[in-house]
Structure 1
Amino acid sequence: MTHDWSRYWRSPDRPIEAMHAHFERHVYHRHSHETYSFGLTETGAQSFSCRGGAHTSAAGMVMAFNPDDPHDGHAADALGFTYRIVHLGPELVAGALADATGRRTGLPLFDSPVVDDPALAYALRALHAALLDGGTTATALRREELLTAAVASIVRRAATRQPGSKAGDSTGKRVARRARQVLHDRPTDDLTIDDLARAAGASRYAVYRAFQAEYGLPPSDYQRQLRLRKARALIAAGTPIGEVAAATGFADQSHLTRWFTRCFGLTPGAYRRAAQQR
């Protein structure tokens, strides 16, 4: 008998979401988020692949995912793991850093997805607990303070590229970004690799290779992520799940539910209830 459980919280007006969960049997399908995602493993250990490598986050370790970082995940043993994770929109991270430094500094880059740092773990747990308590013990002002402190601490202690620095460009990156723009412009269309190749001005193989290298997913998987993100927004807004499935390019409600659960760790219905609680 499985003992998997999860609690989810979503801000009604800001790009902040948080989950507290224990998984023994659930296996995350390879997916990504449009947000920065910072997790803390509380008990047990979870294994996952990210950025071409295999990683394990044991109790007390922090995970740091950049926006669009593809990753999966599962329990490292039969005992499972308990973890907390906070998803923060890039604009919110930039704003928190501005609050901490007094000026807009751009966005950071995290190279290592696992960080063993007790100070970071403490800051992240404090923020997460304040978000999930629904204002019972932490005031709105206190939550803002914890958010600013946690983001500043994570960037200062774990970011590889500090805000303000710029990464170089290349032909492969440009090809990948042109293909990506087509997917963002037409997320529910039945696109082919030829459609992407024409838009990118490159061969089908070049598009596939460049896209995989830049974003860690093939274009079809990336398109599914876009559909799931749109589905989350519609579900949070109160749209019936069956209508959401039709509007986001899924075959039916069960198809959407299957992929939603595999990628986010909870069903669309549970996500809708978490959104409505606020």
Structure 2
Amino acid sequence: MSEREWVDYHRMPDRPVEVMHAHFDRHVYHPHAHETYSFGLTEFGAQTFACRGATRTSAAGMVMAFNPDEPHDGHSHDELGFTYWIAHIGSELITDLLSDRAGRPSGLPLFADPVLSAALQRLCLSLTGPATELAADEALAATVAALVQRGTRAVPQRLSTPQGGVTAEIARQVRLVLDDRYLESLSMDDLVEATGSGRFVLYRAFRSAYGLAPSDYQRLLRLRAARRLIAAGRPVGTAAVEAGFADQAHLTRWFRRCYGITPGVYLNAA
């Protein structure tokens, strides 16, 4: 991290909700996706990111919205850097909160909405400041309600719903192999054998369907496994090895590139 960069990370007790408040000027997010719905609020500066086939820039006051398993990256728009909040909300919690409402977040990856921005900031502050559990739950419900009230709609989740056809079937077969064997040291030959298709064909099919290269997706599965182990209290070094990384340094490098924090920060975020 540069001297001007900082991160504050919190996990909500007994709820699948995590919040990060950070300032970055040199950090560049590697393409990745979250298991959660993720909503970012730019506070200062501007962040440029690629999502759904287009490059967008979030200026101060704008909201970024990512569905579960939606690939994206991110970096500062200029040398001044950017400060932002981002809240990760488990999909099961979103479903529960929307049980009596029409709609589902989120239809657009970037938009300006003062009501939603205020609700999102209230949620983030409730997890990072002196708020009661009831107040945090209320802020969470208000944020989801604000999303629904602006008329957002869910978009296809690129890591879970590829279009039909031969190409999609090849991509699906590759994903099944990676889901089942992500801890193994797989080669392209292993994927060729499992799918019966050529190297270039399966790579192109997977990238087209899911927005990530097979190796990026395998690493993403390992990162998610490491997050679960760390959240359960496993030492970072142990979690790294059990999740398929060479060592703690290897996990730390990729954890920061994809999530903006180190595994140690995540361990202490509860």
| TM-score in terms of structure 1 length | 0.86
Distance 2:22 2:66 in 1: 18
Distance 2:40 2:239 in 1: 28
8 A Cα contact 1:115 1:158, kept in partner: no
Q: What is the number of equivalent residue pairs in this alignment?
A: 264
Distance 1:126 1:65 in 2: 19
1:29-68 residue CA offsets vs partner (Å, 9 max, x unmatched): 2211111100100111111111221110000000001111
2:219 aligned with 1:188: no
Of the three residues 201, 213, 227, the one matched with 1:218 is 213
Of the three residues 251, 255, 261, the one matched with 1:256 is 251
Partner of 1:170: 164
Distance 2:208 2:155 in 1: 22
Q: What 5-or-longer segments of structure 1 have no aligned partner?
A: none
Partner of 1:140: 133
Distance 1:201 1:11 in 2: 45
Secondary structure of the residue aligned to 2:115 is helix
Secondary structure of the residue aligned to 1:196 is helix
Partner of 1:21: 22
8 A Cα contact 1:245 1:251, kept in partner: yes
CA gap of 1:158–1:2, structure 2 versus 1, over 3 A, is: farther
**Could you tell which deviates more after superposition, 217-226 or 70-79?**
70-79
8 A Cα contact 2:46 2:59, kept in partner: yes
Q: Kindly, what percent of the aligned residue pairs are identical?
A: 55
Partner of 2:85: 84
Distance 1:31 1:175 in 2: 21
2:232 aligned with 1:237: yes
Secondary structure of the residue aligned to 2:88 is strand
Partner of 2:69: 68
Q: CA deviation at 1:177?
A: 2.7
Distance 2:80 2:151 in 1: 29
Of the three residues 137, 140, 146, the one matched with 1:153 is 146
Partner of 1:127: 123
2:52 aligned with 1:44: no
Q: CA deviation at 1:223?
A: 0.6
Partner of 2:263: 268
Q: CA deviation at 1:162?
A: 8.0
Q: What 5-or-longer segments of structure 2 have no aligned partner?
A: none
Partner of 1:54: 55
| TM-score in terms of structure 2 length | 0.89
Distance 1:162 1:211 in 2: 19
8 A Cα contact 2:116 2:146, kept in partner: yes
**Could you tell which deviates more after superposition, 109-118 or 212-221?**
109-118
8 A Cα contact 1:2 1:24, kept in partner: no
Q: CA RMSD in A?
A: 2.3
8 A Cα contact 1:96 1:151, kept in partner: yes
Partner of 1:179: 174
Q: CA deviation at 1:199?
A: 4.0
8 A Cα contact 2:98 2:104, kept in partner: no
